[in-house]
Every structure is written in structure tokens, then in C-alpha cells.
Structure 1
Amino acid sequence: MVNEKKISSGFIYFFGAFGGILFGYDIGVMTGALPFLQNDWNLQNNPSAIGWITSSLMLGAILGGALAGQLSDRLGRRKMILISAIIFAVGSILAGIAPHNGVLFMIVSRIILGLAVGAASALVPAYMSEMAPARLRGRLSGINQTMIVSGMLLSYTVAYFLKDLPETMAWRLMLSLAAVPALILFIGVLRLPESPRFLIRNNKINEAHKVLSYLRSDKDQIASEIKQIQDTSKKEENHKASWGTLLSGKYRYLVMAGVGVAAFQQFQGANAIFYYIPLIVETATGNAASSALMWPIIQGVILVLGSLLFLLIADKFKRRTLLTVGGTVMGLSFVLPAILNLVIPNASPMMIVAFLSIYVAFYSFTWAPLTWVIVGEIFPLVIRGRASGLASSFNWIGSFLVGLLFPIMTATMAQEAVFAIFGAICLLGVLFIRIRVPETKGRSLEEIERIGQNRQGKERSA
């Protein structure tokens, strides 16, 4: 244990979730840094280099998420968050001191940073859900999303205030400053206790009881929760799932639904906006991207407000309803600028930016948080670990491909056409939700598992 002194639940929840802020900062920081880096290294006519520098973070995250889940079962959630904070700091500083025109050095630095980003994406929700009482778990995905988008907004704001520095100093400071919240995370997590679930799985019952006493006021509730965790751990040990189990007839329907939602969230193109909004505005208006750094802040504010709205409405609407409405408006927001551009060739070039803001608004309280709510609810216990990891991997793969291909696509075709392609994917996502994804709101995990088995049985007999 950390020490005998009681640690407040507020302190535990704050620093337990703080990794989300770091995750968001590193996802968003390249948005502000890229216009300066592009000019400093003369990359305007090298869309491939721009794509690789931006997307290499996600390449590392694919590996980091997969490794963190397995290592945290051996080393503990807390220790892995501490290791991630160190990697965050090292990757940030390496990116900031990259040699001039050191594209390969920058890509490797971003891959290292991505290891920590991927680890945070897996560790923070797991740690928080294992520390919080059952009545708070429904909102945890929303709170985690709020932390992530707050980190993105922080990176956009830092970029805006550093924009008047010399180019080479501006982008280096933007990237290096991520080491500051990484240090804060490390110091905070040093005082955090280990997850009670991890402690019980390693037969440290007294320590788990002590941790739960920080977070629960009812002694009977603590005893009941420890017994429930012990029972669940035994079930998991008795039902080891292989990768082949995911594709078995019993689980295939639910696995395809959860993984499909996670993949569509990224292939719909949201990160094309978050990574490249200054360059999008530059293409639309002809003004320098470095003068468009207020737009990321606007998008960041919309994301934060949307995540707060989700916390208010999360339990009031069905999951499929919110995803259908959000996906439809998102798709139309991408498709309409291309149509209007054909009908009204002289329309304001900022029209596309206005539609992108509508897209971000609806994404922020539908697909952004709900993807992870569904991933947390839809997989049966026996396969949950592997299936959640598979869904996360497909999500990061989608993020990587969008980050890599967007600048290459916009170099070869009109910007409106690229977004129209993403719009079509949004509408396909809505179709997928209506046909392949069951409603999970208000249903127990056992009910959802039965629905999946019944649907799979009907498909086999059809």
C-alpha cells in the first residue's frame, strides 16, 4: 500500500482520471504545432511526411493499448500508469528536441509517445471503473471523455498563446510542454492506491479492504463488494477465452457489433478535423494555417460542452437513438458542403468550416462518448478482455489511417470531395447501428448476451 493515511476519494478520482487530460493533450497538440513545423521544415509539398508525423502517434497507441492491458494484469494498474507518465514525458521531450528536418526522428518520438497514449486509453477507464462504486460506473465513460477533450482544448489554447514566437521555438515548446502534466500525473499517482480488483486477484484481501474503505462508507457494502470481485475473478479463471472464442457462433454477433461501432467512430473522419483544422481553414480561405489557431479552440470548446451535455442526457435516451441522430447529422454535415459547392460555386469558403462545427457538436455527445459506453456494455464477461482490446485496436487503426491519408487525399482531390467520402461512411455507420447493434441501455449484461445468442441463432437458421 501507499501509506496508512486515508486518501480522499476526490483525490483518487481526480488523479485516476488525469491521464485522460494527458491523452487529450497529446492527441491535440500536433494540431497547433503542425503549421509551424510544416513551415520550419518546408513540408508544404510533402503530404506523406505530414501524414506520417501526425499519425505515427496512433501507430504507437495501437501497440501501447494492447501491451498495457496485459501488463497491468501482471504489474498492477497504478504501476502501469506511473510507467505511462514517464513515457509521456520522454516522448514529449524527444519530439521537442527533434533535429532540423528530422522527419524520421520525429516519427519515432511520436511512436514512443503513442505507446503512452494507447496505454492511457486502456488504463484510465479500467482503473476508474474498478475504483468507483457501481452507481457511478454508468457515467465514467462520459467523465473520461470530458477529461480527454479538456486535454485537447488545453493543447489548442497553449498553441494559440505560443503562436507569436519564432516558428522553430513555437512548435518545439508546444510539443515539449506535454512533459509538465506528465510530471503532475506521476507525482499524483505516487499517492494513489492500487485497484482493489488487482489486489484481490493477487490474494491481497486486507489491502483491498483498506482501499475500499477510502471510497465506501458502508462496511457491509465493502464486504459484499470484495466477495463479488472474488466470485467474478474465479469465473474469469474458469472461462479462459482464446481469440478463436470471439468468432465462435455464440459470441460472433456481439463481437461484430462492438468492434464495428469502435471502427466506424474513427473511419467517420472526426480526427481529420481535430488534427488538421488549421490546414483545412488554410485550404478553404488561402490564409496561412498559423493564423487560424482560434479554430481549434472553438472546436475544443464545442467538444467539452458536448461531453458535458452527454453527462446530462446519457441515461435519458436509448443508445441507438443518439447514435442514429448523431450519425445522420454528421453525415449530412460532410455531404452538404460538396452539394452546395456544385450548386453555388461562389459560396463562402468558410461554409465548410461552419458545417464541420455542426459535425463536431453532434459527434461530441453521441459517437464520441457512446462508442465506449457500448464497448463496455456489449461484450459478455467470458470474452470481455480480448473483445474490448480488439475494439480498441480497430479504433486506433482507424485513427491512424485517417491521420495518415487525409493530407494525401486532400493533395489529390478537392477538400469537399474528401469530406463527402467521410459523410458517406457516417451514413453507413447509421445503417450498421440500425441493422447490427442491439440496444444496451437498461439491460443487464446477461440480457445483452442472450440477445446476441438469439440473433446469431436466427442468422444461422436463415
Structure 2
Amino acid sequence: MNVMAKAEKKISSAFIYFFGSFGGILFGYDIGVMTGALPFLQADWHLENAASLVGWITSAVMFGAIFGGALAGQLSDKFGRRKMILMSAIVFMVFSVLSGVSPDMGEASAYYLIIVRMLLGLAVGAASALVPAYMSEMAPAKARGRLSGLNQTMIVSGMLLSYVVDFLLKDLPGEWAWRLMLGLAAVPALILFLGVLRLPESPRFLLRKGDEAQARKVLSYIRKNPAEIDQELASIKETAKEERQANQKTSWSTLFSGKYRYLVIAGVGVAAFQQFQGANAIFYYIPLIVQKATGQAASSNLMWPIVQGVILVIGSLVYMWIADKFNRRTLLMVGGAVMGLSFILPAVINWMMPNMNPMTIVVFLCIYVAFYSFTWAPLTWVLVGEIFPLAIRGRASGLASSFNWIGSWLVGLIFPIMTASMPQEAVFAIFGIICILGVIFVKTCVPETRGHTLEEIEEQGTNHGRVKASNPEN
């Protein structure tokens, strides 16, 4: 025990924050890797005219992630955030390798890959739920936006990494190219597993399980001021005491009780809007989008994903700089408005000028990605990590993650079908309208959380529930 304690004291806060957010690399890589692998896979398996099958192969990971997020959220409340992140890394390693060694047996190959990628999605969804919850519980309130934004930086870095790998492997024989692209996802999963082995458990989870001594020890790694540690422990204990006094048993119905409904709707709604706004249509299919716009082969357009990836990484760094300088709601509304216009304007210009340069839509997509990268992309996960009360955080984070992945899955599935039946400008205009609806949702349904402790945010939700109960017409 003493040896373990000495080993734990060597853990730096930088190490904790880095590997606490490293899970984002996993699903960032898998979000991006199919962008480059798909053109080679289509050619190798002769799927150029199979829009629905291509949609299923691309979106299978997101379909599995729907269930992975909800399952991990429940299990993390029982076993802890750290153990579930370790389990996710193992699952990710196994099914990344199985994706790369898909047997070549005709049409059955596509169904094999769909099933394997669905199982891989369990780990991707788990990471998307666990990492924000873990980071929000480790970060101090004044820096929570910036540190939680590390998750987004990791996600987009994973995407950029996959784009670069795709580009470097594009000159290999087609079959080897896409297999290596998919299989190499096991490498960041192994790094995550080895790093998380040394991570401590979340202090809020430890205190909830009654281990105050260990919770205090973990806080001592990441809080410099002893008074701050005492205050934070007291605040968490007070919240836990109120929950015990209420003798509340958390269930799915609890999420939508009067006390929690406001915050749950806000968090889950933002998570859902992030994906239904259509960002992943760009990330999954940008080579095919450029192909349709210019007539150039998709496999020769693998530089465009790298351009998008660089924009995303720069945007995530911009977000970390401004995260705690502007209100969350302000950034979401400004970002959503520009994103919506970036999707709608190409359709308007094309209607007014039918001979519009086909690359105009790609330029507007870059503007969309730029604003998405420092607003909705990181802030969704910051809000998901900080807006849910302790008693329901695991379940609610899982539910938000699942709705996010439902949107991601549907966008990945139907985008190739939609673009096969209507102009690309019209498809993106639909997503633009959804962006504007997202702005309205944030303005009317989402509370401000910047600078508030997790316990203060919970009190906002409780007070809002009381006001609604006493004024049902509002």
C-alpha cells in the first residue's frame, strides 16, 4: 500500500490531463480514417454504385457508439471512469485489428466489416461519454472549459493523424492501403491503455463511494491550494448528503424528473444538435464531395481532408485560448449562425448564379469547419461534462453521447443517399436550417455554465425546476 501511494504521488497534473483526454484520439482517428480508406475500399470491393452499403460501412461505428455511450455511462457509475476507459481501449484495439484483416469473400465482406465496425463503435461511444465526464470532474471550475477542451483537441488531432496516415498510404496497392489505414487505429488505443494504467480515479466518484481519503489524495495532485481542496470536498459532500437524504434511486426516469429535466434536456439537446448540423458529412465524405464538385477522382483528393484537419486543430487551440473568456452560450450562438449561413449561402448563390464555380461550396465548407472547430465542436463536450448533476452524471452523459452518435450515424448513413438524389447545395442547405434551429435552442433552453462549480450548475437546474413547478404555464 505504501509503495502504491509513493507511486501515485509521482503523477503530475499534466500527465493526468493529457491521458485523461487522450481517449479523444481514438474516436477522432476512427472518425477520420474512413475518409481516406473509403475510395480504396469502394474500388477494391466494387462498391462505387452501392450508396446504401457505403453509408452503412461508414456509419457502422456511429451505430455501435450509440449503445457504447449509454452502456459506459451506466457502468462508469458502478465501476468508475478509469476502469471503463481501460476497457474501451482494449475493445478498440481488438476490433481495429479485425477491421484491417477483413476477409475478401464478395458481398459478405461488406457485412463482416459493418458488424466489426459496429462492435468497434462500442469503444468509440464509451470514450465519447467517459472522457468529458472524467475531465470535468478533475478540472477546477475556473479552468474547466480550457482543460475540458483538451478532449476536442485530442479528437481533431486524431482526425488529422488519420488524414495524414491516409495520405501517406494512398500509393500502396488499393487492398493494402485501406487495410493498414483501419488497422493502425490499434496503436493509439494501446498508448491510451498504457497511460490510463497510471491515472487515478475521479475524486467525485471516489467520494460518492465513500473513499474520502483517496479523493483528497487525488485532488492534491491537481489542486495547489489546501483550502481549495477542503472547499471542493465539502461542496461535493454536501451535494451527496442531499441526495442520500432524499433517498433517491437513480433510474432512466430520474433524468426527466422535475429536479433534473431542465439540465438533461439542455445537455442532450446540444449533443444532438452538434451532429444533426451535418459536420460529419464533411469529415466522412470530403473527397467524394470534391469529386462531385470537380469531377476529379476521390482517391486523388486526399489533401482536402488534411486541410480540414489542420483547420480543426487550429480551431481547437483557438478555443482553448478563448474558452474561459467568453460565455458558452455566446460562442455557441455565434458559431451556429455562421455555420448555418455557410451551408445556406452556396444554395442561394447557385440559385442566383447557376454557373457558380463548383469549388465555391468547398470554400464555404472550410468556413463552416473553422467556426465549428472552436464553438460547437469543443463546447458540446464541455457542456456534456459539466452540466449534469453528480447523481445522474454517468447516465445523462451516456444518454447525451448516444443522441450525439445517433445524429452522427444518421448523417453518415443518409448523406451519400441524399447526394445521389439531389444537388449537394440543397443537402447542405438542409443542414444549414438545422444549424439555425440549434442557435434558437441554445438561446431558449441552455443555461450559462462558465465559471460555475458543478454544484452551482446543479443548483441552477434545481431552482429552474422549482420555478417551472410553481409556474407551469411558463
Q: Aligning the two structures, in what range does the TM-score lie when normalised by the shorter sequence?
A: over 0.9
Counterpart contact for 1:379–1:449, Cα < 8 Å? no
Q: 1:154 to 1:242 in 2, by over 3 A?
A: same
Look up the match of 1:195: 202
Counterpart contact for 1:68–1:119, Cα < 8 Å? yes
Look up the match of 2:457: 445
Distance 2:326 2:140 in 1: 23
The match for 1:15 among 15, 19, 42 is: 19
User: CA shift at 1:381, angstroms?
Assistant: 4.8
Check if 1:333 corresponds to 2:337. Answer: no
1:54-77 CA-partner distances (Å, limit 9, x unpaired): 111011111111111222233332
Give the structure-1-normalised TM-score: 0.93
Q: 1:146 to 1:344 in 2, by over 3 A?
A: same
Distance 1:385 1:459 in 2: 30
The match for 2:114 among 107, 112, 123 is: 107
Look up the match of 2:377: 368
Distance 2:21 2:305 in 1: 23
Identity %: 71
Look up the match of 2:54: 50
Q: Which moved more, 1:395-404 or 1:137-146?
A: 137-146
Look up the match of 1:116: 123
User: CA shift at 1:287, angstroms?
Assistant: 0.7
Distance 2:210 2:259 in 1: 32
Residue pairs, 1:370-449, within 5 angstroms: 370-442=379-451, 444-445=456-457, 448-449=460-461
Say what the alpha-carbon RMSD is for the aligned residues. 2.3
Q: 1:455 to 1:393 in 2, by over 3 A?
A: farther
Look up the match of 2:42: 38
Look up the match of 1:214: 221
1:308-366 CA-partner distances (Å, limit 9, x unpaired): 11122223333332222211211111111112222222221111111100111111111
Letter in 2 for 1:47: A
Q: 1:361 to 1:191 in 2, by over 3 A?
A: same
Q: 1:3 to 1:189 in 2, by over 3 A?
A: farther
Look up the match of 2:473: 461
Q: 1:451 to 1:292 in 2, by over 3 A?
A: farther
Letter in 2 for 1:449: G
Check if 1:244 corresponds to 2:244. Answer: no
Q: Which moved more, 1:150-159 or 1:199-208?
A: 199-208
Q: Which moved more, 1:313-322 or 1:292-301?
A: 313-322
Residue pairs, 1:57-136, within 5 angstroms: 57-100=61-104, 101=106, 102-136=109-143
Q: 1:442 to 1:214 in 2, by over 3 A?
A: closer
Look up the match of 1:263: 272
User: CA shift at 1:19, angstroms?
Assistant: 1.2
User: CA shift at 1:185, angstroms?
Assistant: 1.4
User: CA shift at 1:454, angstroms?
Assistant: 6.4
Higher relative contact order (CA 8 A, sep 6+): 2
Check if 1:144 corresponds to 2:151. Answer: yes
Distance 1:158 1:395 in 2: 26
Distance 2:175 2:300 in 1: 16
Q: Which moved more, 1:195-204 or 1:407-416?
A: 195-204
Distance 1:169 1:76 in 2: 39
Secondary structure class of the residue paired with 1:461: coil
Secondary structure class of the residue paired with 1:460: coil
Q: 1:338 to 1:67 in 2, by over 3 A?
A: same
Counterpart contact for 1:236–1:381, Cα < 8 Å? no
Letter in 1 for 2:58: T
Q: Which moved more, 1:213-222 or 1:430-439?
A: 213-222
Counterpart contact for 1:64–1:116, Cα < 8 Å? yes
Distance 2:421 2:471 in 1: 42
User: CA shift at 1:168, angstroms?
Assistant: 0.6
Look up the match of 2:351: 342
Look up the match of 2:163: 156
Distance 1:455 1:301 in 2: 45
Distance 1:203 1:435 in 2: 38
Look up the match of 2:33: 29
Distance 1:329 1:77 in 2: 36
Letter in 2 for 1:284: A
Counterpart contact for 2:69–2:401, Cα < 8 Å? yes
Counterpart contact for 1:33–1:174, Cα < 8 Å? yes
Letter in 2 for 1:193: P
Look up the match of 2:175: 168
Distance 1:125 1:180 in 2: 22
Check if 1:304 corresponds to 2:316. Answer: no
Counterpart contact for 1:378–1:448, Cα < 8 Å? no
User: CA shift at 1:459, angstroms?
Assistant: 6.6
User: CA shift at 1:30, angstroms?
Assistant: 0.8
Distance 2:93 2:376 in 1: 30
Distance 1:341 1:183 in 2: 47
Counterpart contact for 1:266–1:402, Cα < 8 Å? yes
The match for 1:182 among 161, 169, 189 is: 189
Distance 2:330 2:377 in 1: 14
Q: 1:459 to 1:432 in 2, by over 3 A?
A: farther
Q: 1:446 to 1:227 in 2, by over 3 A?
A: closer
Residue pairs, 1:283-294, within 5 angstroms: 283-294=292-303
Secondary structure class of the residue paired with 2:472: helix
Letter in 2 for 1:167: G
Residue pairs, 1:347-362, within 5 angstroms: 347-362=356-371
